[in-house]
Structure 1
Amino acid sequence: MTQTAPPPTSGLDRYFGITQSGSTVSRELRAGLTTFLTMSYILFVNPQVLGNAIHVPNAFVQLLMTTAIAAAFGSFMMGLVAKYPFAQAPGMGLNAFFAFTVVLTMKVPWETALGAVFISGVLFVLLSVIGVRQAIVQSIPSALKFAITGGIGAFLAFLGLKNSGLVVSNPATFVGLGSLLSPPVWLALVGLVVTTGLMARRVTGAILWGILVTTLLGILLHLPVYPGGANGALQAFSGFSGNLLGIFGTPVWPGDLVGKMDLAGALGLGLLHVVFTFFFVDFFDATGTLTGLSQKAGFLDAQGNMPRPRRLFAMDGLAAMFGAFMGTSTTTAYVESASGIGEGGRTGLTAVTVGVLFLLSMFLWPLASAIPAAATAPALILVGALMMEGVKEVDWSDIGESLPAFLTILLMPLTFSIANGVSFGIISYCAIKLLSGQARKVSPILYVIAALLLARYLFLVNE
């Protein structure tokens, strides 16, 4: 006897399908808050990165505002139109490529670089509407889809370890163990133990409570875990300008950034490869992220397909276009959305909540600065561990399946790029199947993608 889903309890429930998805409004709101807390660092990091290349009056504040607006718009589109619990914001890595490679090294005006980002967004939308992006996702074998999820988990965990200072750079070994006496390290470790304990006890909102408890502990003990000290040193929490009203900041309209993109300059023959690079990196970064998050949230069916794929991918491209118009580098789906999924977020209300919080951050951005990286690092590590669960579905006894999956998982954290992990997984999978006489087991679409990926890497070598 089949069980029918309980009827929706309100118009909000009906629109987002909250009850149907097995969730509740309070859980979706909590998941949105958790996602926002784990990705709110972008409000401060993105202006720091882009500020190296974009020189306008009051640059940091204007870039912070345009970051918040772009993140809010992208998250609203993902939640209201695509109805997925995935948040969007200007992407890390892409902002560094924008600032240091395109503008500072290649001497491309920042207005022209924004034009290139906008054009790449147009290409995302076109390919999504005609079904190319979902066709590519459908051509990816199940083993690689599980590996992408696991690789994103490893990437998240590595990001958390890096943010906490537990893993640091080492000139002899590339990476090494950070000082265990460092306040951010042991605060993050305490937070990891506390949050894990709460999760083991099945406490509702365990990840969010872990972030808040860790933050409060750092503030009460006056631990130097916040940036802003002399010569780049960390400092203890300095309060909100000495009073409660200090948590409020006056929003500033980013008038020196909005609409300043140069589309004509970006369409010049000499910059087409810049447009292609923006397009390529975000295409596979976002596609890999959205596929992995969908698998983690349980959205993929038995064939590995996701619901409403055209809307999902089109909203990703639309967010990139809007972000460029507002004056920031590529806006894309955020892997930190996994923290909200881990908290139980299953509908677009989670993403809408994130969007609202980004808008509020334009007024309360000093309050967001009270959450140190050491407090959100445990959430990233824990969610990363949870995302490794699907790796058990890979047939590790079959080298043709296991090696591409292994490369996908390993290269994401080690190259600090989801796109690189997906790319090498696809290339190696096609090459092994072709050489082992199993060419017909691979979709022709995947061979075309592998060839394009290989051509791009060869082009990078020549460059």
Structure 2
Amino acid sequence: MPREIRAGLTTFLTMSYILFVNPQVLSAAISIPNGFAQLLSATAIAAAFGSLAMGLVARYPFAQAPGMGLNAFFAFTVVLGLKVPWQTALGAVFISGLLFVLLSLLGARQAIVQAIPQSIKFAITGGIGAFLAFLGLKSAGIVVTNPATFVGLGNLTSPGAWLALFGLLVTGALMVRRVTGAMLWGILLTSLLAIVLRLPVFAGGPEGALQAFPGFQGQLLGIFGAPVWPVDLMGQLDLAGALQMGLLSVVFTFFFVDFFDATGTLTGLAQKAGYLDQSGNMPRARRLFAMDGLAAMFGAVVGTSTTTAYIESASGIGEGGRTGLTAVTVGVLFLFALLLWPLAAAIPAAATAPALILVGALMMEGVKNIEWDELTEGLPAFLTIILMPLTFSIANGVSLGVISYAALKLLGGRGREVSPILYVLALLLLGRYIWLME
């Protein structure tokens, strides 16, 4: 039990940034009184429900919260770009979640997962690892945008970069020495160093600038903050508006993107946790996928964009989390975050970045099982891995991996090796890229 609780705490610390990032993204599209505080509460409530459902019903150590990328699509593409009212966009999220649940209970999602070949499943795990490492390097400022080369090396002498490098070395050394809770200790020690040295790595400065840790001044007993109930968000979704013919493509896009994002994430996490059998099947798959869809529906009712499984759950799995107690711990901590949210602010992104990088490295282990010398297996696997970080999307990596796998097998005269379900899936994915991409 202590190991599972420790794993849940590690997962929570690694993904707690969503408490502040999700409100920041959604507040660009949702204008309500005291919007940031209400969105923070909605984020915490949705994450708590999703993680508790995953732990108690599906009994998996996978945490859930409003998804990054999906929140940006919600805010900037749907609401600000297409001028869809945010209430209607929430309705679209709810309907897509309902479709998830129905397909899960019918066994369709499980059938799709079974149709995905082993090489792509190993590639999904490796691709998620590369994506996690890229997220960590980006949040630490080690990898930055570059107008000439798209990405480049950041300033390694900046406080965030060298603090993350310090955390990476310390955490790596603790793991080599097999110290129990190495990632959690690494996060806490790195955060403590940032606070003691008053490094400007914490969010909340003027005009979005980073600042030194401001302390807990103004909060009850130093660390408690009164939660703000999301009264202007809860129950505001517009289902009728989302079902209008002109918005069905929005519903379909929400559904399609999250379907493969969540399916890829859950498959990769199950692979990492050792849940998949020799045929690539996972136990309690219907309940697992249904809880993912139910979390999306609940999140829409509370007032946030799609709630989904988090790849950061891999950090808890890396700490030994293997049961639903890990996810339950995360859910309880998100409920506590409604009161103790100032504590989450004491963990800068530069402190959680090393955990993402290290877990990413560990998740690359499975790629050794891919038949790299067989082009019809190796090339789709490579595309799956490389496109996740380069397109900043798990869904794109899985989608293009599946399309290329089906196409190469068919054109190479080995089409019978592919499940008919995978061919249908590849055609649907190809249709999405042709007709539904902006």
TM-score by length of 1: 0.94
Partner SS state of residue 175, structure 1: strand
Alignment partners' CA distance in 1, 2:155 and 2:423: 46
Q: 1:328 maps to what in 2? A: 304
| 2:396 is the counterpart of 1:410 | no
Partner SS state of residue 246, structure 1: coil
Partner SS state of residue 344, structure 1: coil
Residues 1-21 of structure 1 deviation map (CA, whole Å, 9 limit, x = unaligned): xxxxxxxxxxxxxxxxxxxxx
Aligned pairs for 1:64-143 within 5 A = 64-143=40-119
Equivalent residue for 1:369, pick from 333, 345, 356: 345
CA apart distance, 1:238? 1.2
Partner SS state of residue 245, structure 1: coil
Alignment partners' CA distance in 1, 2:220 and 2:71: 33
CA apart distance, 1:354? 0.1
Q: 1:219 maps to what in 2? A: 195
Aligned partner of 2:374: which letter?
D
Q: 1:14 maps to what in 2? A: none
Q: 2:153 maps to what in 1? A: 177
Q: 1:358 maps to what in 2? A: 334
CA separation of 1:242 and 1:99: change in aligned 2, threshold 3 A: closer
Residues 89-110 of structure 1 deviation map (CA, whole Å, 9 limit, x = unaligned): 0000110110111111111111
Name segments (4+ residues, structure 1) moved above 3 Å: none
Aligned partner of 2:371: which letter?
D
Q: 2:404 maps to what in 1? A: 428
Aligned partner of 2:41: which letter?
M
CA apart distance, 1:204? 0.2
Residues 116-152 of structure 1 deviation map (CA, whole Å, 9 limit, x = unaligned): 0000000000000000000000000000000000000
Q: What is the aligned residue count?
A: 438
Q: 2:18 maps to what in 1? A: 42
Alignment partners' CA distance in 2, 1:246 and 1:103: 38
| 2:250 is the counterpart of 1:279 | no
Alignment partners' CA distance in 1, 2:432 and 2:415: 22
CA separation of 1:244 and 1:206: change in aligned 2, threshold 3 A: farther
| 2:39 is the counterpart of 1:63 | yes
Identity of aligned residues (%): 78
| 2:325 is the counterpart of 1:346 | no
Q: 2:377 maps to what in 1? A: 401
Aligned partner of 1:321: which letter?
M
Q: 1:164 maps to what in 2? A: 140
**Alignment RMSD (CA, Å):** 0.9
CA apart distance, 1:242? 6.3
Q: 1:16 maps to what in 2? A: none
Partner SS state of residue 308, structure 2: strand
Partner SS state of residue 84, structure 1: coil
Q: 1:379 maps to what in 2? A: 355
Aligned partner of 2:327: which letter?
A
Tell me whether 226-235 or 324-333 shows the greater mean CA deviation. 226-235
| 2:226 is the counterpart of 1:265 | no
Alignment partners' CA distance in 2, 1:44 and 1:231: 15
CA apart distance, 1:280? 0.3
| 2:395 is the counterpart of 1:419 | yes
Alignment partners' CA distance in 1, 2:223 and 2:386: 41
CA apart distance, 1:252? 1.6
CA apart distance, 1:407? 0.2
* Unmatched segments (≥5 aa) in structure 2: none
Residues 367-408 of structure 1 deviation map (CA, whole Å, 9 limit, x = unaligned): 110000000000000000000000000011001100000000
Partner SS state of residue 248, structure 1: coil
Alignment partners' CA distance in 2, 1:245 and 1:183: 30
Aligned partner of 1:327: which letter?
G
Residues 40-66 of structure 1 deviation map (CA, whole Å, 9 limit, x = unaligned): 000001101010111111100000001
Aligned partner of 1:336: which letter?
E
CA apart distance, 1:251? 1.2
Q: 2:367 maps to what in 1? A: 391
Aligned partner of 1:73: which letter?
F
The answer as to whether partners of 2:22 and 2:43 remain within 8 angstroms in 1 is yes
The answer as to whether partners of 2:92 and 2:239 remain within 8 angstroms in 1 is yes
The answer as to whether partners of 2:253 and 2:436 remain within 8 angstroms in 1 is no
CA apart distance, 1:229? 2.2
Alignment partners' CA distance in 2, 1:290 and 1:253: 31
The answer as to whether partners of 2:275 and 2:283 remain within 8 angstroms in 1 is yes
TM-score by length of 2: 0.99
Partner SS state of residue 221, structure 2: helix
Alignment partners' CA distance in 1, 2:222 and 2:69: 32
The answer as to whether partners of 2:95 and 2:251 remain within 8 angstroms in 1 is yes
| 2:7 is the counterpart of 1:31 | yes
